[in-house]
């Protein structure tokens, strides 16, 4: 019997394109995958199916969804969650856990490889944004188009590698959490529609700024476009957040970092993680040291881009392919 090991990256979400326009594509947007913090799990043969480790109840529900989707029993294995991405931090923890479980069970059961869309559907993810779904498989900078009413998962617009030298500095005030689950669904239902002019501007910032700048390693343009994109997208959620960022603490933190000369700052999803793109590992170390020296309660982490998506390793049994795109 095979043993399967899955390592999944975190997801930064730069912001959505659209919301509430009847008959038009909903959500859409841009994000990037980063190496840390990462999720790690393993599956080994056992007498019966069992799960242990962090988030075991949530993981059990994803495993049951996978079994129903494939119309089969869960395999006799011990699924161990060894490391998790912080929950309610804006890093895509739920999607990465769900997809890692689906990919791990597929590999252990020696099923054919699945597309990103099939992986997401098998565990009930991708209801709104699909950045984390495509990022799980492909890594890199991910742009997704948004969903039409009859589409289960948003189509992929494009993905490209981020420059290997760049780093993201993650800054999270202790004691704050983002929103998720029912609260997030209620927030989306209560928000006003995003004007088409705003959607058009966000798409232009993506296609004329973020994507070509990343492809050519134009750090200055990428940083400027990233900040402008995140602030404009965040304004669409001001009724819930109180502004372009989720509360006064995060808004002040963004301005404080930018005042230090680091211009590419944004909030991932609902926060509370603020991310700063910097051009090198040494620049990341310098900023992290500056922030750590301040008399405030901040968790700071440096991460490199993840351009390869999740890693699925199989030992024993036959070799199983990675998930594939359409």
Total count of domains within the chain: 1
Domain that holds residue 185: 3-315
Provide the whole-model pTM: 0.93
Q: Would 322 be classed as within a structural domain? A: no
Q: How far apart are CA 110 and CA 299, in angstroms?
A: 40
What is the dihedral sign for C-alpha 21, 25, 26, 30? Answer: negative
Q: Is residue 326 part of a domain?
A: no
The domain that contains 169 carries what CATH number?
3.30.230.120
The total of other beta-carbon atoms located within 10 Å of residue 200's CB is 12
**Closest residue by Cα to residue 210 from 258, 157, 261:** 157
The answer to the question of residue 215 being in a domain is yes
* Both tokens assigned to 41: 């799990």
CA distance linking residue 200 with residue 206, whole number of Å: 10
Give per-residue pLDDT as tens, 199-254. Answer: 999 999 999 999 999 999 999 999 999 999 999 999 999 988 999 999 999 999 99
Is the model's pLDDT at 317 over the cut of 80?
no
Cβ proximity of 299 and 275 under 8 Å: no
On the CB side of 126, CA atoms within 13 Å amount to 27
Residue 186, pLDDT score: 81
Residue 246: the pLDDT is 94
In a domain, 36, yes or no: yes
Beta-strand ranges (E) seen in the chain are 3-18, 27-45, 50-53, 77-83, 141-144, 156-160, 167-173, 265-267, 274-278, 298-303, 311-315
């Amino acid at each position: 019997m095979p043993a399967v090991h899955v390592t999944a990256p975190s997801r930064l979400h730069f912001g959505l394109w659209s919301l509430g326009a009847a008959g038009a594509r909903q959500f859409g947007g841009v994000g990037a995958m980063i190496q840390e913090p990462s999720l790690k799990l393993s599956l080994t043969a056992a007498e019966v199916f069992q799960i242990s480790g962090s988030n075991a109840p949530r993981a059990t529900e994803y495993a049951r969804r996978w079994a129903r989707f494939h119309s089969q029993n869960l395999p006799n294995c011990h699924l161990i969650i060894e490391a998790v991405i912080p929950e309610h931090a804006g890093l895509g923890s739920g999607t990465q856990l769900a997809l890692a479980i689906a990919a791990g069970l597929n590999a252990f059961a020696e099923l054919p490889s699945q597309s990103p869309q099939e992986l997401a559907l098998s565990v009930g993810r991708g209801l709104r944004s699909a950045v984390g779904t495509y990022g799980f498989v492909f890594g890199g900078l991910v742009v997704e188009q948004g969903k039409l009413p009859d589409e289960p998962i948003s189509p992929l617009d494009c993905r490209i590698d981020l420059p290997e030298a760049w780093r993201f500095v993650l800054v999270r005030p202790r004691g704050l959490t983002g929103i998720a689950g029912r609260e997030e669904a209620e927030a989306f239902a209560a928000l006003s529609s995003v004007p088409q002019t705003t959607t058009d501007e966000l798409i232009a910032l993506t296609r004329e700024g973020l994507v070509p700048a990343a492809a050519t390693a134009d750090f200055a343009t990428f940083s400027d476009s990233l900040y402008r994109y995140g602030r404009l997208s965040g304004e669409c959620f001001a009724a819930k957040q109180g502004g372009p960022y989720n509360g006064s603490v995060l808004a002040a933190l963004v301005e404080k970092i930018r005042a230090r000369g680091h211009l590419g700052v944004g909030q991932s999803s609902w926060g509370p993680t603020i991310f700063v793109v910097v051009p090198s590992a040494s620049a990341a170390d310098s900023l992290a040291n500056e922030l750590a020296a301040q008399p405030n309660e901040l968790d700071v982490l440096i991460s490199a881009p993840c351009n390869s998506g999740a890693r699925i390793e199989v030992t024993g049994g036959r070799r199983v392919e990675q998930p594939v795109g359409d």
